[in-house]
Homo-oligomer: A and B are copies of this chain.
Amino acid sequence: MKFTKMHGLGNDYIYVDAISQKIENPNEISKFVSDRHFGIGSDGLVLILPSDVADFKMRMFNSDGSEAEMCGNAIRCVGKFVYDKKMTDKSTITIETLAGIKVLEMTIENGKVVLVKVDMGEPILKAEEIPVLSEKHPVIDEEITAKDYCYNFTCVSMGNPHAITYIENVDEFPLEKIGPLFEIHEKFPRKTNVEFVELIDKNTVKMRVWERGAGETLACGTGACAVLTASVLKGYVGRKATVKLLGGDLTIEWNEFDKHIYMTGPATTVFEGEIDI
């Protein structure tokens, strides 16, 4: 099986052209290739497939073999994969995912993709759709207490729930200790991703994310989108800002006209490989 290891801000997957290669039981393959010591080592597996409704179809599998809907970091790499490997010559393409069809606009330099802009759709602000137990609409500064920690959370969904709060000095924050307390708080019927954010200036915020079921990760695309949305609702930043994550920076825009969130960020090819499956 030929593959390419790529990452989006350190969120790394194994990408496989499943158009020219027949891939059976991707769940098992994902478990094997993801193993950091016995396999290739990655956060999971991404298959690029033909599509009847878009330019390509993307299926992605976590390191435990379960299938995932979509991931902002991964879909940018899919765009770079198909363009750099000349599977398309269009710089704007559509990708079919379990979270619907996504539109990608790619910035090309010297024939290679350097940045990818992804339409992440409208943020969901209704409490019952996020979901979070709150009377507010939108859910701004909902006070939530867990053990002896109390924070005001602004809650947003990008197809998955996010709870965002603002603190000083995010680098020093004890995320491993506090993140899990709010991840599973009863206010969140389907648990939640938890983002702790430090305001840098009117155009820049810095975040760390405790991901639902994964703990701290280097980068979470939907988390960055949710953080921008919350920061606009709070009046902290303009509609377009840089979100700084452990793995690097994303530019997020909440478009005033179509109300969609646009995420722009890098996609990096690390190496090409071949493995016996």
Which A residues lie at the B interface, using CB under 8 A? 5, 7, 10-12, 36-43, 218, 247, 268, 270-276
Select the residue from A10, A11, A12, A43 with max chain B CB neighbours within 10 A. A12
Q: In the complex, A247 Cα to B268 Cα: how many Å?
A: 31
Q: How far is the CB of A50 from chain B (nearest CB, A)?
A: 26
A41-B40, A218-B37 known; A271 and B274 CB under 8 Å?
yes
Q: In the complex, A43 Cα to B42 Cα: how many Å?
A: 14
Q: In the complex, A40 Cα to B41 Cα: how many Å?
A: 8
Chain B residues positioned under 8 Å from A43 (CB to CB) = 37
**A7 and B40 contacting across the interface, CB-CB below 8 Å:** no
Q: In the complex, A43 Cα to B275 Cα: how many Å?
A: 19
Chain B residues positioned under 8 Å from A39 (CB to CB) = 270
Chain B residues positioned under 8 Å from A273 (CB to CB) = 5, 271-274
Residue of B nearest to A268 (CB): B38
Q: In the complex, A13 Cα to B12 Cα: how many Å?
A: 18
Q: Which of B36, B38, B271, B276 contacts A36 (CB 8 A)?
A: B36
Residue of B nearest to A38 (CB): B10
Chain B residues positioned under 8 Å from A268 (CB to CB) = 38
Q: How far is the CB of A221 from chain B (nearest CB, A)?
A: 15
Q: Which of B37, B272, B274 contacts A12 (CB 8 A)?
A: B37
Q: How far is the CB of A6 from chain B (nearest CB, A)?
A: 11
Q: Which of B5, B36, B37 contacts A247 (CB 8 A)?
A: B37
Q: Which of B10, B38, B218 contacts A7 (CB 8 A)?
A: B38
Q: In the complex, A274 Cα to B268 Cα: how many Å?
A: 15
Q: How far is the CB of A213 from chain B (nearest CB, A)?
A: 18
Select the residue from A12, A40, A271, A276 with max chain B CB neighbours within 10 A. A271
Q: In the complex, A5 Cα to B12 Cα: how many Å?
A: 17
Q: Which of B37, B40, B247 contacts A271 (CB 8 A)?
A: B40
Q: How far is the CB of A5 from chain B (nearest CB, A)?
A: 7
Chain B residues positioned under 8 Å from A247 (CB to CB) = 37
Residue of B nearest to A271 (CB): B275
Chain B residues positioned under 8 Å from A42 (CB to CB) = 41
Q: Which of B10, B38, B41, B272 contacts A274 (CB 8 A)?
A: B272
Chain B residues positioned under 8 Å from A274 (CB to CB) = 271-273
Q: In the complex, A37 Cα to B39 Cα: how many Å?
A: 14
Residue of B nearest to A37 (CB): B10
Listed A/B pairs (24) with beta-carbon separation below 8 Å: A5-B40, A7-B37, A7-B38, A10-B37, A12-B36, A12-B37, A12-B38, A12-B41, A36-B41, A37-B43, A37-B218, A37-B247, A38-B268, A38-B270, A39-B270, A40-B41, A270-B275, A271-B273, A271-B275, A271-B276, A272-B274, A272-B275, A273-B273, A273-B274
